[in-house]
Amino acid sequence: MRYGYFDDERREYVVTRPDTPLPWINYLGSENYFGLISNTAGGYSFYKDARLRRLTRYRYNNAPLDMGGRYIYLRDDDPHPSGPRAWSPSWMPMRIPLDSYECRHGMGYTIIKSKLAGIESRTCYFIPIDQNLEIWELTLSNHRDQYANLSVFSALEFCLWDANDDATNFQRNYSIGEVEISPLSLEGRGARGEGDVIYHKTEYRERRDHFAFYACSEPLAGFDTDREAFLGPYRGWDSPRAVEAGQTSNSVAHGWQPIGAHHVKVRLAPGEQKTIIFLLGYHENPKDDKFDPPDSQVINKRTVLPVIERFLTANEVDRAFAELQNYWDGLLGKMTVNTPDVHTNRMINIWNAYQVMITFNMSRSASYFESGIGRGMGFRDSNQDLLGFMHLIPDRARERILDLTATQLPTGGAYHQYQPLTKRGNNDVGSGFNDDPHWLVLAVTAYIKETGDWSILSEPIPYDNQLGSETPLYEHLQRSIQYTLDRLGPHGLPLIGRADWNDCLNLNCFSDATGQSFQTTTNKEGKVAESVFIAGLFVLAAKEMAELASRVGYRNSNIKPTFELRPSMFYLDAAAKMESIVWQHGWDGAWFRRAYDDFGHVLGSKENTEGRIFIEPQGICIMAGLGLEDGRAEKSLNSVSVHLATPHGIVLHQPAFTRYYLHLGEISSYPPGYKENAGIFCHTNPWIMIAETMVGRGDQAHDYYLRINPSAREALSEIHRCEPYVYAQMIAGKDAPTHGEAKNSWLTGTAAWNYVAITQWILGIRPTYDGLQVAPVIPSAWKGFEAVRWFRGVRYDIHIKRTGTGNTVALEADGKPVTGNIIPLPPVGVEEVHVDVKVA
C-alpha cells in the first residue's frame, strides 16, 4: 500500500493522504536556520543549534505523535452549507476531513495543498538561501460561485530558546516569557495595525542578543501572543477558542506560554485568489545596541525591519524560491545517472544526495527520532557522513574535516562527540571508542581523491583544541594509525575500548545497575577485549596511509613533524601484520569472527550459541582486501547470504541475544530483532554491497541494494511505515514481531554509505588521486547506463554498454583508448570529457 508517489521531474515526493503511518517529514534550510516539517505541517525551527537556539516548541513522544508546528486555520465567517465552520488546511491539528489533500516534499521546501467546500489553499514553506527566516506563503482560491468571507489564523508556539530548559525548568519558565508587538509601516502602503509583527524576546532583557519575529503581509483583524487566550482554557491546538469564535483577543503574553497568532479577514469573489505571507525569523543585534531608545527595554528594530519588509512582498518570495531551486539544481547536478532501474536513478539523482546533505547539516541532532537536545556531532559519524557529500560541497567538507581533527587527542584517539556551537570535545562521553581515529583517515583520503587538494595535509590543527599544540593534519593521520598500534590485545588484535563501530558492543562495561551508562561506565581494565572489526578497519586505513605516504613523499618539506615520519612501507607492513593476525585469530572457517571478550572468549564464531556471525567484520575485512585472492571473501559473503540476509535487508547478527549478557553490554539489552540486537542496521548493508562488488558479484550487490532502498520499499509502506524517500537507521530484523518496520529515519550513516556503495562500487564511478575511475560491477541483465559526474571542475559524460556478462572494462575518453580504468585528468582548459565504456 502506498500513501503517495514520486514526482521525479519536480524532485518531490507527493503524499496523497494526511494519515501516513508515521509523520513523513522534510527539512527546510541549508546553512544556519533550519526547520523540520511534517506532511501535516508539524515540526519546529532553530538557528544553528537545535538545543540552544530553538525558535519554536515541539513536544516529542506526544499523543498524537505529531502535534505542534506551523499551523494555519481557516474559518468560514459566513457558514457554508456544504462545509464545516473551521478547518486546518494541513489536516492537522483539527483533522476535519478534506475534499482533497496533497503534500509535496521537495528539495528544501514543502507545499501543502488542500480543498474543502470550494476553498482551495496552498501553503509553501521554505527558508531562503542565506537568510535566517522562514516563509509560509499561503494562497487561497475561491472556487465557489458566491463570495467567501474567511478568517485566516496563523499559529505557532515559541520555545524559550534552550530546548532542554524549555522542557524541564517550569518554575522559571512560567515567569520569563516576554513578547513585544508592534505595527509595521510598509512603504507605499501606509501605516499598518498593531500586531503586524510579533517579537518573541524572552531573556533579551538580560544576556541574549537575539530575538524571534513573526510577521504577516496583510492588515490584521487581531492577534494573540498568549497561548491560553488563543486556545481557551483546557483546549488544545485542535480546537482553539479564537478560531471557533472568529476573533483573537490581542493578548499580550506575560510569562506562561508565548505564542504568535495572526488573524486576517479575507473576502474572496468567485474565482478570486489571494496570497498572504507569514514570516518567522531569527535576528541578532549588537550587544551594545540592543534597545531603541538605548535606555529603554524596547527592541532595536533598525536592522531587522528592512529584512521583514523585503520578504513580505510576493516578488521577493518568488525570487527567493527560484534561488533555492537553483541551489539544489547546482548541487544535484554534480552527479546524475540514467540506469535501467528507477529506484537507483531516483535515489542517486534526488533523494539519497539530498539525505546526505541533511545528515551533513544535522549530524544526529534533530529529526523526529533525535530530539535536538541529545547528542552532539559524532566523530565517527561525521567522518563517515563526509564520504557521501564530498563532491557536493567540497569547501564545507574541508571545514568539517578541520573541525573534527581539532577534537583529536594527542594520543591519536578522539573525543567521541563534539558540540557544533562551541566545536569542543564533549567531556561527558569522552574518548576511548577505539575505532574513531581511523574514520578520519578514510575521510581525509576520500577528500583529497575527490578534490586534489593536497594542501589540507599541511593545515596546522591543534589537539583537543589546545592552542599551541598544532601540527600538520598529516601528523594527525599518522597518530590515528599509531593509536591502534599502541593498543593491541593478547592476540595482537586491536583492543576495543568502550566500543567500536557498534556502540552497543560494550565488552569492558559490566553494567548491572539500572540507569548506568553502557558506554561510559567502564569497569574493566580494557586490556583483554579485542575487536576484529577494528582490525579490518585498521588494515583499510593503514593501506590508505601507505598510499598517501608514497605520494606525499617521505620528506615533504611542507610537513614539519613532531612525530616520526613513516615511509609508505611502514604502513604496508603494519597492514600485512594485522592481516596475518586476523587470519590466525579472526577467521572462523567460513566467516570473520567479531571480537574477543574480557574473558578472552571468542564472539561471532561457530563456538557461540548466540551471536555466532556478525555482519560488520565481513563487510570491513573484505573492503580492506582480505580474502579477495583466495576465495575466503566469497566464503564469508556466502555465509552472510545464508545466515544474515532477509528480504528486508541484512541483519546485524544471528542468532539474536535472547537475554541480557553482562559481559556484552547494551547489544543484549534490546529485544531480539531491534537496533543492534540483530536488527537490520542499514548502515552496515552497503559494506556488504561493496564487498560483493569486490568479488565481482553485481547481481547480488544490487539485489541487497534494492532490499533497503526506500523507494523500492514504497509499495510496502504499511510495513515499512517510515518515509519512502529516505533511509532509516534500522529496519526490524527477522527475530522481531514487526520484521520489516523501519525506525529512525533521516539522520543515519546509512545515507552516505549507500550513496558510496551504489555510485562508487556498483556503478563504479570512483574518484582516485590520478583521475576518475570507472569500474562498474552492475547486474548482468543491465544493458548499460549513463552518468554525468563532475570531478575537479570537469564534466564527465559517461556511457556504459554491456557487451558480456562479466566486469571487464574497456575505456575510451574522447575517442582515445585509456589503459586501465582510470581516466587521466584532461589538460587545463578542457571542461568536458566524453567517456565510452564497454563492460564484457
Interactions with ligand GLC, residue window 227-256 (CB under 6 A): none
> Which residues in 209-219 are b (16+ Cβ under 10 Å) and which e?
ebbbbbbbbbe
Query: Which of 385, 450, 676, 714 is close enough to bind ligand GLC by CB under 6 A?
Result: 676
For the bound state, the minimum distance from the C-beta of residue 504 to ligand GLC, rounded and expressed in Å, comes to: 5
Query: Which of 380, 438, 612, 653 is close enough to bind ligand GLC by CB under 6 A?
Result: 380
For the bound state, the minimum distance from the C-beta of residue 506 to ligand GLC, rounded and expressed in Å, comes to: 9
Per CB under 6 A, which region of 341-349, 374-382, 635-643, 828-836 contacts ligand GLC? 374-382
Judged by CB, which is closer to ligand GLC: 243, or 728?
728
Query: Contact, 550 vs 568, CB < 8 A?
Result: yes
Interactions with ligand GLC, residue window 447-506 (CB under 6 A): 501-504
For the bound state, the minimum distance from the C-beta of residue 89 to ligand GLC, rounded and expressed in Å, comes to: 37
Q: Which residue is nearest to ligand GLC (CB)?
A: 503
**How many Å apart are CA 274 and CA 148, to the nearest integer?**
12
For the bound state, the minimum distance from the C-beta of residue 578 to ligand GLC, rounded and expressed in Å, comes to: 21
- Report in angstroms the alpha-carbon separations of 707 from 353, 492, 675, 685, 740: 19, 37, 18, 10, 10
- End-to-end CA, the chain: 39
Judge whether 66 counts as a catalytic residue.
Answer: no
Interactions with ligand GLC, residue window 719-738 (CB under 6 A): 729
Nearest to 440 by CA among 448, 429, 452, 451: 448
Find all residues with CB under 8 Å of 514, minimum gap 6, and list them: none
- Contact between 679 and ligand GLC per CB under 6 A: no
Report the SS3 class of residue 159. Answer: strand
Instruction: Give me the 504-523 binding string for ligand GLC, x by CB under 6 A, dash otherwise.
Output: x-------------------
For the bound state, the minimum distance from the C-beta of residue 752 to ligand GLC, rounded and expressed in Å, comes to: 12
Query: Contact, 526 vs 495, CB < 8 A?
Result: yes
Report the SS3 class of residue 710. Answer: coil
For the bound state, the minimum distance from the C-beta of residue 666 to ligand GLC, rounded and expressed in Å, comes to: 5
Q: What's 314's DSSP letter?
A: H
- Contact between 38 and ligand GLC per CB under 6 A: no
For the bound state, the minimum distance from the C-beta of residue 639 to ligand GLC, rounded and expressed in Å, comes to: 21
Per CB under 6 A, which region of 95-103, 378-386, 450-458, 763-771 contacts ligand GLC? 378-386
Per CB under 6 A, which region of 167-175, 184-192, 376-384, 693-701 contacts ligand GLC? 376-384
Judged by CB, which is closer to ligand GLC: 656, or 695?
656
Find all residues with CB under 8 Å of 618, minimum gap 6, and list them: 591, 592, 636, 637, 639, 640, 687, 688, 691
- Contact between 364 and ligand GLC per CB under 6 A: yes
Judged by CB, which is closer to ligand GLC: 341, or 385?
385
Cis geometry, peptide bond prior to residue 671 (ω within 30 degrees of 0): no
For the bound state, the minimum distance from the C-beta of residue 384 to ligand GLC, rounded and expressed in Å, comes to: 8
**How many Å apart are CA 651 and CA 691, to the nearest integer?**
16
- Residue from 341, 503, 588, 598 carrying the catalytic annotation: 503
- Contact between 381 and ligand GLC per CB under 6 A: yes
Per CB under 6 A, which region of 70-78, 240-248, 273-281, 373-381 contacts ligand GLC? 373-381
Residues near ligand GLC (CB under 6 A), total:
12
Find all residues with CB under 8 Å of 45, minimum gap 6, and list them: 28, 33, 34, 35, 36, 54, 55, 56, 134, 280
Find where cell 576465495 sits: 631
Judged by CB, which is closer to ligand GLC: 380, or 632?
380
- Here the cell at position 553 is 613523499
Query: Contact, 486 vs 478, CB < 8 A?
Result: no
- Contact between 58 and ligand GLC per CB under 6 A: no
Query: Which of 57, 241, 643, 675 is close enough to bind ligand GLC by CB under 6 A?
Result: 675
For the bound state, the minimum distance from the C-beta of residue 467 to ligand GLC, rounded and expressed in Å, comes to: 29
The full 3-state SS of 30-58, as one line of letters, equals: CCCEEEEEECCCEEEEEECCCCCCEEECC
Interactions with ligand GLC, residue window 633-672 (CB under 6 A): 666
Find where cell 469564535 sits: 245
Nearest to 137 by CA among 126, 128, 150, 151: 126
Nearest to 728 by CA among 681, 673, 676: 681
Judged by CB, which is closer to ligand GLC: 418, or 587?
418
Query: Which of 89, 372, 378, 586 is close enough to bind ligand GLC by CB under 6 A?
Result: 378
Query: Contact, 753 vs 384, CB < 8 A?
Result: yes
Judged by CB, which is closer to ligand GLC: 446, or 747?
747
Judged by CB, which is closer to ligand GLC: 751, or 787?
751
Report the SS3 class of residue 13. Answer: strand
Residues in contact with ligand GLC by CB under 6 A are 364, 378, 380-381, 501-504, 666, 675-676, 729
Q: Kindly list the catalytic residues.
A: 503
